[in-house]
Amino acid sequence: MSKTLLYGATKIDETNSAYSPAESLAAFQWKNRVFILFADRENARAARQENQLLADRSALDERDMVVLKVSGDSVRPLFGAAEGLNGQAIRRDLEAPEPGEFAAFLVGKDGTVKLKVSEPITTGELFAIVDSMPMRAAEALKPDK
């Protein structure tokens, strides 16, 4: 399984789009973490990823997450509110694979890509990555969370 964890990189290339905010997802910046999955042709891996994520909606809510599914050029929110999103722009900004290839991305509240996977990730792995982020740690200390 190909998994690229971009969070905590020791050397950051400022020209790499993975470290600059995704403009197509600017509406979520500083409000939500966004998990975007790009559907595969058979939709098997995307459906498996979708089922894993939506099985724990309270954990998604607790982490201020929005889950989006991109099929071709269309974008459908699976969890959280989202409207007016352009699938082509999201695909371009994230440098996602061609339509029909599975991929999933985690975009942090700062708007940058924190994780890119080419196979479904377990919710345990995903939440561990989110929970290790400094902003999430600060949120967890707040009494209203």
pLDDT for 138 equals: 83
Cα 72 to chain centroid, rounded: 17
Residues 41, 44: Cα–Cα separation, whole Å: 8
The crossing angle, in degrees rounded to 10, of helices 44-54 and 123-131 is 60
Residues 128, 133: Cα–Cα separation, whole Å: 9
What percent of the chain has a predicted confidence (pLDDT) above 90?
Answer: 74
Does position 85 have pLDDT exceeding 70, yes or no?
A: yes
The conformational region for residue 128 under phi > 0 = left, psi -120 to 50 = alpha, else beta, is: alpha
pTM: 0.84
- Provide the strand spans (E) within 102-144: 103-107, 113-117
CATH classification (class only), 17-141 = alpha beta
Q: Give the mean pLDDT of the chain.
A: 87
Q: How confident is the model at residue 143 (pLDDT cuts 50, 70, 90)?
A: confident
Cβ atoms of 9 and 116 within 8 Å: the answer is: no
- Give the pLDDT confidence of 20-48 residue by residue, as tens digits: 678 899 999 999 999 999 999 999 999 99
**H helix or E strand, kind and range, residue 92:** helix 87-94
Does position 19 have pLDDT exceeding 60, yes or no?
A: no
Does position 4 have pLDDT exceeding 70, yes or no?
A: no
pLDDT for 105 equals: 98
pLDDT for 8 equals: 41
Domain boundaries, the chain: 17-141
Does position 76 have pLDDT exceeding 70, yes or no?
A: yes
pLDDT for 10 equals: 30
For 53, residues 6+ apart whose C-beta sits below 8 A from its C-beta are 35, 60, 67, 78, 79, 123, 126
Cβ atoms of 107 and 114 within 8 Å: the answer is: yes
Q: How confident is the model at residue 56 (pLDDT cuts 50, 70, 90)?
A: very high
